[in-house]
Amino acid sequence: MTDPTDTRDTGPRVGTPLWAFLAGITVIGFTALVVAMLRLDAVLLVEMARTPLFWVLAVLVILGELRPVMVSSATAVGGTYPSTMFTFAVLLHLGLPVAVLMQAVAVTMNGIVTRRSWHRVMFNIAQSTLALTAAAVVLGTFGIVPSPAMPWMPTGAHLLPIALAGIAYFATRATLVSGAVALHERRSIMRVMKVTAGPQSLVYAGLLGLAPLVVVVMNHSPGLVPLFVAPLAAVYFTATLSMRRDHQAMHDELTGLPNRKMLIVSTEEALAEARQEERVGLFLLDLDRFKEVNDTMGHPVGDRLLQMVAHRLTHSVRPGDVVARLGGDEFAVLLPSIRDAHAAREVAARLRAALTEPVRLEGMTFDMDGSVGIALYPDHAPDFELLLQRADVAMYLAKEGRTGVELYQPDKDRNSPERLNLLGDLRRAIDNRELRLHYQPKVSLGTGTVQGVEALLRWRHPVRGPIAPSEFVPLAEQSYLMRQLTAYVLEAALEQAALWWHTGLRVQISINISARDLLGSALPEQLEVGLARYGLPPTAIQLEVTERILTGDQAYTQDTIKALATLGVPLALDDFGTGYSSLIRLQRLAVSEVKIDASFVRRIAESEDDARIVRSIVDLVRSLGLRSVAEGVESDEVAMRLAEMGCDVGQGWLFGRPLPAAEATIWLRDHSESGDEVEFGYQPEVSRSA
């Protein structure tokens, strides 16, 4: 069992519990080593050194100590060295002094070859010496005290003392190493032993179980001892294959970091052993402007940058903390033990400081940054899913406010327990494709032709029945589900657009997108891939964004908007009039359409103030060369007033309610005059029932 207590070439700080533990075990272990050496007869040792068997065993012990058998990819689980089999065989046959001498030489050689720090080498010598001493004590209680002068030969009657000696050996090493790991990573020793002892117990059982056979072969035919290398090689390669499969299942292929699956396991372990006075922290970290690197330098350079980010993050956290990659440019950091929110902020600040150091790739220097959201157990959530969701809310607030680091704040999260249950139901609804798009026409107020349709999301809950989008969309927008929901809607809208366009109904579908979508970098790429897959022009889809989003001076938002404009996908400014847009800002927006909020439109026939507002908006939009769309048109009088004002398009129940895809297709065909143009014969008398 190796000592994974130090990932760097520096020792523990003097005075810390880990330093005291390592120092104490080292002193005790070397004392036992000295006592064993005093019992060794130098004359017998010299005579034994003249035999080929001694050197065969010495070489096998040294070679077996150079590379361990890895049985798990978990960092806390060390490898099991094949030298264990031969060292234990030497203990059984020649006694404790020879065994600890060979083991000490082998560990020293290992430290020289692998360039380990001196304190690790000394600790490994000490803990292996104590393990062999424990096994020798057990054998001694049965009257078995081998020596070079009186080698011991085991028989079938000695299975019990050999088994108990092997258990003592394994238990001693497991306890000492687990104690060091527990102190190093600030974890419970029982939890560490559960993780480390379990995977290695079978390997130790195999190695220690073969040791008596090695003794028998040594006694009858020493030249056959090297043949034990063959089963060792089989064990080594089998364990290596198993470890690789385990690593692939639990780690990210690009960066080698733990993936979401391993993060869940690690978080659940941390929550299970969390102490009352401490917290468990979960960070969600998203890189800013990463898409610029991919677009400018290509994905291979972007991949290298992600690998560098992973390296920086892992070297900026404390021992025992877990850095995971969730996908794309999104990382998570688990702090199994953290004192309070202030300490968590300090760790998050250190992570951001590591990221902000300039990166030089392909002759160019990139300035990286990231936004970090923090959620703590038990302050903010009782389990992994809620911790991740609330860290995501905090990260979104950090990105939106451009503060860099944000702690989860309940007063800024609209999620109640009931809504959180709804969030889980929404995730299952997305996975099971239970959400549906309905389509509402947008009709020209001048000609009556259909100018497009708006896709409106609908959800019929299996228990609660229909749930309004105003209830579940904001919930998704504040959670990790927004990207999945947007991808779902995009896919459904593109699929429907393809059905219409390829059968002659060239109807543009408008889709509402959230601030989360514009703050990320995946939206343009998703659209580009989807349009190409379905053979659609960029104008087949229109994206509607709210006035507040586009006027927030978000550098990251503007990058996504520019990418969409380059792609050729038109943008519409939704709910205009409810925000604070100025004429100068509106001129800068890459939009082709402005939608006037229904709260103004519905009252223009009753309120002159609202009529003046709508007329001013229509005139402003026309002066900028954009198209105006009035939402909430529900009466003939309102439609006529809008037409008189020069408003281009109307949308509302006067022209048609939102319809499922099949009914919308029939409606569009019924109002089509040709295969290429869909028309609606707008008349002022058209009733709402249409």
For 138-187, the pLDDT digits (tens) are 999 999 999 888 888 888 888 899 999 999 998 898 888 888 887 877 76
Q: How far apart are CA 247 and CA 300, in angstroms?
A: 23
In terms of pLDDT, which residue wins out, 447 or 491? Answer: 491
User: Helices 341-356 and 299-314 meet at what angle, rounded to 10?
Assistant: 140
Find the mean pLDDT for residues 478-493.
Answer: 85
**Confidence label for 85 from pLDDT (cuts 50, 70 and 90):** confident
* Most confident among 44-48, 172-176, 648-652 (mean pLDDT): 648-652
CA angle, 631 then 636 then 637, to 5° = 90
Helix (H) or strand (E) holding 43: helix 42-49
Does this model's pTM top 0.85? My answer is no
Residue 675 pLDDT: 40
Last residue of a domain, one of 392, 413, 434: 413
CATH code at position 340: 3.30.70.270
pLDDT of residue 9: 45
For the ranges 5-14, 159-168, 460-469, 536-545, the lowest mean pLDDT is seen at 5-14
Whether residues 404 and 432 fall in one domain: no
pLDDT recorded at residue 553 = 44
Instruction: Tell me: do 242 and 270 sit in the same domain.
Output: no
Is 301 in the same domain as 379? yes
Helix (H) or strand (E) holding 83, with range, is: helix 83-94
Kindly calculate the radius of gyration of the chain based on its CA atoms and give it in whole angstroms: 35
Of 589, 558, 562, give the one whose Cα is nearest residue 573: 589
The verdict on residue 3 lying in a domain is no
Q: Which of 347, 378, 413 is the last residue of a domain?
A: 413
419 pLDDT more than 70: no
What does the pLDDT average to over 376-391?
86
Confidence of residue 557 (pLDDT cuts 50, 70, 90): low
Do 369 and 453 share a domain, yes or no? no
Residue-level pLDDT at 461: 87
Closest to 600 in 3D by CA, of 585, 612, 591, 583: 612
Taking the alpha carbons of 203, 209, 215, 218 in that order, is the dihedral positive or negative?
Answer: negative
Cα separation, 141 vs 380, in Å, equals 55
Q: Are residues 408 and 423 in the same domain?
A: no
Mean pLDDT, the chain, whole residue set: 80
Has residue 211 got a pLDDT over 80? yes
Residue 682 has pLDDT above 50, yes or no: no
- Same domain (yes/no): 264, 242: no
Residues 107, 128: Cα–Cα separation, whole Å:
9
**Residue 2 domain-assigned (yes or no):** no
Work out the average pLDDT over 388-411: 83
Mode of pairing for the β-strands spanning 649-651 and 627-631: parallel
What is the number of domains present in the chain? 3
Contacts of 560 (CB under 8 A, 6+ apart): 291, 517, 518, 519, 520, 521, 523, 524
Same domain, 308 and 220: no
Range of the domain at 219: 17-250
Instruction: Answer with the residue of higher pLDDT: 615 or 558.
Output: 615
Using pLDDT thresholds of 50, 70 and 90, give the confidence band for residue 599: confident
398 has a pLDDT exceeding 80: yes
3-class secondary structure, 607 = coil
What pLDDT shows up at residue 673? 52
What pLDDT score does 602 carry?
84
Query: Quick check: is 155 in a domain?
Result: yes
Residue 6 belongs to some domain of the structure = no
**For residue 681, pLDDT beyond 60:** no
598 and 577 in contact (C-beta within 8 Å)?
no
Same domain, 310 and 185: no
Asked if the structure places residue 675 within a domain, the reply is no
56: pLDDT strictly greater than 90 = no
Give the type of residue at 270.
A
User: Which residues neighbour 13 within 8 Å (Cβ) at sequence distance 6 or greater?
Assistant: 19
| Residues whose CB is less than 8 angstroms from the CB of residue 346 and which lie 6 or more positions away in sequence, other chains included | none
Domain boundary, last residue among 363, 393, 413? 413
Same domain, yes or no: 125 and 191: yes
In a domain, 423, yes or no: yes
Q: Which secondary structure element, helix H or strand E, spans residue 172, and what is its range?
A: helix 159-185
In the structure, what pLDDT confidence band is assigned to residue 400 with cuts at 50, 70 and 90?
A: confident
- Cβ atoms within 10 A of the Cβ of 580, count? 8
Q: Is residue 1 part of a domain?
A: no
Task: Name 461's bridge partners.
Answer: 465
Report residue 315's pLDDT band, with 50, 70 and 90 as the boundaries: confident
The H or E element containing residue 608 is helix 608-623
Across 157-161, 329-333, 547-551, least confident range: 547-551
Structure confidence at residue 677 (pLDDT): 41
Q: Does 282 share its domain with 229?
A: no
The Cα-based distances of 650 to 113, 376, 449, 575 in angstroms read 78, 48, 11, 13
Same domain, 373 and 515: no
Of 87-91, 609-613, 683-687, the least confident: 683-687
Q: Of 82-91, 476-485, 499-508, 605-614, where does the model show the most confidence?
A: 499-508
71-85, 587-601, 636-650 — most confident range? 636-650
Determine what percent of the chain is predicted with pLDDT higher than 70.
81
CATH number of the domain bearing residue 642: 3.20.20.450
Residue-level pLDDT at 498 = 93
Q: Is the pLDDT score of 91 beyond 70? A: yes
How confident is the model at residue 6, as a pLDDT? Answer: 42
Give the pLDDT of residue 493.
94
> What's the pLDDT score for residue 47?
81
* pLDDT value of position 441: 93
- Residue 156: DSSP 8-state: G
Reported confidence tier of residue 519, pLDDT bands at 50, 70, 90 = low
Residue 686 lies in a domain: no
Domain identity same for 313 and 346: yes
